[in-house]
Structure 1
Amino acid sequence: MSILDVIATGADEAPRARQGVDRVPAYLPGEAPPGGTGRSVKLSSNESPLGCSPLAAAAFQAHAGSLQLYPDAGAQALHDAIAAKFSLDPARVVTTCGSEELLHLAARAFVDTDDEVVVSQYGFIGHHIAALAAGAERIVVPERDYSVDLDAMVAAVGPRTKLVFLANPGNPTGTVLPASAIADFHARLPRRVVLVLDAAYAEFAELDPAYGCGLDLAEQSDNVLVTRTFSKMYGLAGLRIGWGYGRASLIDNINRVRPAFNANAVAQAVAIAALQDDDFVRRSRDLNSAGLVQLSEGLAKLGIAVTPSVCNFVLAHFGAETPGADALFEALRLRGIVVRPVKGYGLPDALRISVGLPEDNQFLLDELAVILAGAR
């Protein structure tokens, strides 16, 4: 058979993805409110209700005249700013297009096809996607009371395990584990296993004196990667800028698979400015703390169970006496309020509700009360 015959034989075949791609779940982002002239509130994506820091906004405007320039591929100024803020070694910082990119880079750098990656049952879905996209076998460990079961996670680690994803605090649960428990968990892992501590919501959890995001572990250990983001507390979700910290050898391997110029110039400059505004972070924390109380107590008065959260959202559970999570999601959406269904996490009877401005939180509670009253 000639080469022309071979080409002709496959001429009508459609492109085929590599083996395992069909197992990767699609990421479903939080919806935006429906259009219309009425009031609308988005409480689906855990975005900052205060926007971003005025210093960050000014930095964004200042870069409008230099968009034709490539960014610093090494993001050195941002690495220096992060290192100064958190007392770290700038050579061990890596910046990415949001912290979710770093989850994928970690899997790409350290996981071979058919290796195992251990994830928690209700862990961020990005952990599951990164593991499967790398061709790994995903080992899903059940949680206990919507919190990571560290003993079960250790028991799930086997000879083929290369990486463990652990979000602390958790998303979509909002639960948190103390730093001492994380340190003990790490000590029980084989040194060959990379522990990725996803600390996207660290700034909220830091109000708990027992919490630690794991930067101390990453400082001392050669198999810990901490991932952080500017999307949540700093209000820069639209710019997609995240960062991570680990031993030099670990970061070097990640940089080898990191795309060039993955952190854009505007995002780098704005993130540097955001780090300087401690007052904005304080105001954001205060607003969130009050909002958590407002939502948790308000939902409880409506007979809705809420998983205790340290993040900028609550996980609300809707029992048999309610119309159900799907019906309530749609009813709220029709009233201009969008929250987050979490059945993709295996929580079909729950909705994740972001903390908004006080008036937005109250709008949700008032409309939900009307919906529930009509259903009872």
Structure 2
Amino acid sequence: MLDIATELHRWCGRGRPFAVATVLATGGSAPRQPGAALAVDGDGTAVGSVSGGCVEGAVYELCREALSGDGPPTVVQRFGYSDEDAFAVGLTCGGVIDILVQRIDPGVRPEIVRALAAAASGEAAAVARIAAGPAELLGRALLVRTDGSYDGSLGDGPRDRTAAGQAHAMLAAGRTGTVQIGADGSRCGQPLTLLVESSVPPPRMLVFGAIDFAAALVRAGKFLGYDVTVCDARPVFATAGRFPEADRVVVEWPHRYLDAEVAAGRVDPRAVLCVLTHDAKFDVPLLERALRLPVAYVGAMGSRRTHLQRLDRLREAGLPEAALDRLRSPIGLDLGARTPEETALSIAAEVVALRYGATGRPLTGAHTPIHAVA
């Protein structure tokens, strides 16, 4: 639900009830992950997606029923593949998907309204909803913030505190999924299933080197949902006019800018650092710092010869081999890229593959799962 928070926040601002279908759990090759959502308002307008098209029509009708009162206000529906009836509503990919459908009245669910407002503004927050348990509890929700405080109630103080603790832990990890707690707030007794959705600010992509390849990488980074910064020490090249899609363009020596961002707490483990300068006076002090940081990706552009020379300089600077092994250089996957756009695609593909621990090899002829189990 929080993945479409911007539009839902607008609906709430107009006081419009809506029904939202959220992916609760998946199995097999289901195309969307927990937290993906489809919402429908009273006019029949739909936003979002829960399956990439396989079961959208059936889920849309469930939302309409929940909104009109023809169906229960909160329900969980499972969709899977049917070999017996090839025309049955289901996932043609062979997966299984559980969908939580809930009617949301902004005046009745203020904690959900506040959660949508937080997510729409880029604030870190989590919402925990009861997805399985006694009928009278289904759909109850808590908004949980980064400091552990929470709004709303699941109907019981100990239950609220236990749920808030679980949701806070998932928010800290940036995770969305289900957890089980006891109905009385303990870890035993009658279980309740909570769907916890975390909304965190977008991960950062720091692009060092204001060159034409950087402009293409900025566009790719924005497409993937990153907050993108371009940094270069040369003011004639590092201009907003050359990188209109970047969130910010900074004129500073790259290593100094990185030091300042780390000191300010603005570089977290999801960050992606792409070094495109291939100039030793910029690269070496920058990479010496970057490769010591717990970030998701550090890549550097350059030929294989440049890469080997760069490694020698980094060793001279005292960087251990374990840190050097983290460097993705020459940057990107082997796509035969020539143009800036093709090169940006190869870098973006490597970033995605590394995020999920994938090989980057063709899926054709492979016998491994398309979607790795998290």
TM-score of Structure 1 vs Structure 2, range by shorter chain:
under 0.3
Higher Rg of the two aligned structures: 2
- The structure in which a higher percent of residues are strand is 2
Whichever structure has more helix as a proportion of its residues is 1
Question: TM-score normalised to the size of structure 1?
Answer: 0.25
Question: Taking CA–CA contacts closer than 8 Å with sequence separation of 6 or more, which of the two structures ends up with the larger relative contact order?
Answer: 1
